[in-house]
Amino acid sequence: MKEDKIFHPRANKYLRTEMLPTAFCPGCGCGTVLNGFLQALDELKLDPKELVFVTGIGCSSWIPSPYFKGDTLHTTHGRPIAFATGVKVMKPDMKVIVIAGDGDIAGIGGNHLIHAARRNIDISVFMVNNWNYGMTGGQVSPTTPFGVRTGTTPYGSAEHQLEAAEVVAAAGANYVARWTTYHVFPMVKAMQEALRVKGFSFVEIIAQCPVSYGKMVKMRRGSDFLKLYKEKSVKVEKARQMSDEELEGKIVVGKLKERKRTEFVSTLRQINERFRQELAN
């Protein structure tokens, strides 16, 4: 598509518009995350030249790549946080942003996630949680709700859902939030807060996959999921007053954690500096 046909000013500023329309299925939440993320960048007036996007494998990994004009590393499944760690250590002045799926970030890449949060390295991770492996046709993922039918759990999943945002908060990240693609305005605000924080920031975005996931649960329209998110969401402040039983099947949304622990790369630099001075003396 020609540039002049795209009237969206944010798309012209941040995207390779010749790649549009997106490769996502109709009604896919990945597109809404892309849309909100553009809005967040634009309001923060971030220059694409200051950004490095790192992504893994999956539909959600197609949000930054190939659409964004910034430098992009499309890496292997589960490893974007590991690559992002390397980028940030060597290029501390760049904003390093990971966008990838639940299978990628919380499944195969789960240990990278926990330890990057524990190190509190200054990268922002946006995990697009569509409760399944969307790209490969709808297999169970660590975030699939209990009892749900997927391609690999045809009689319902026997496993409980991993609450990735809570895990990341416990592991030591400086900023953690969860929203859904129904909550676009707070989602944009959380993205901005995450981008501004020094230290590890994590935003989990519950997003619909009406095709791979939807076909097994008979929810084939994007709106079916958005209605569910609206109905099942509970603000974190209210959720803190509720029991585990009451929270079963609910989606806890809001800012889950904010703290000011020291950041990994700056600590590394200080140690290096101290070592250099000791050597000189």
Ligand X SMILES: Cc1ncc(C[n+]2csc(CCOP(=O)(O)OP(=O)(O)O)c2C)c(N)n1
The binding site for ligand SF4 (CB under 6 A) comprises: 24-25, 28, 30, 59, 130, 134-135, 209-212
Q: Which of 13, 16, 19, 20 binds other proteins (CB under 8 A)?
A: 20
Is 134 one of the binding residues for other proteins (CB under 8 A)? no
- The residue with its CB nearest to Mg ion is 101
The nearer residue to other proteins, 38 or 265, going by C-beta atoms, is: 38
Identify what 222 binds: other proteins, ligand X, Mg ion, none; CB under 5 to 8 Å per kind.
Answer: other proteins
231 binds other proteins (CB under 8 A): no
User: Nearer to ligand SF4 by C-beta: 23 or 271?
Assistant: 23
Nearer to ligand SF4, 134 or 254 (CB): 134
Could you give the strand order of the β-sheet that contains 71-74, starting from the edge strand earlier in sequence? 71-74, 51-55, 95-101, 124-129, 201-206, 175-180, 251-258, 233-235
Q: Does 101 bind ligand X (CB under 6 A)?
A: yes
Q: Is 205 in the site for ligand X (CB under 6 A)?
A: no
User: Closest distance between ligand SF4 and the C-beta of residue 138, in Å?
Assistant: 8
* 102 scored as a contact of ligand X (CB under 6 A): yes
Half-sphere exposure of 153 (CA within 13 A, CB side): 22
Region of 9-17, 35-43, 125-133, 188-196 interacting with ligand X (CB under 6 A): 125-133
In the set 102, 163, 204, 263, which binds Mg ion (CB under 5 A)? Answer: 102
Q: Which of residues 164-223 bind other proteins (CB under 8 A)?
A: 181, 184-185, 188, 221-223
Given 31, 101, 109, 172, the residue binding Mg ion (CB under 5 A) = 101
Chain-centre distance of CA 216, in angstroms?
Answer: 24
Closest CA to 233 of 179, 167, 188: 179
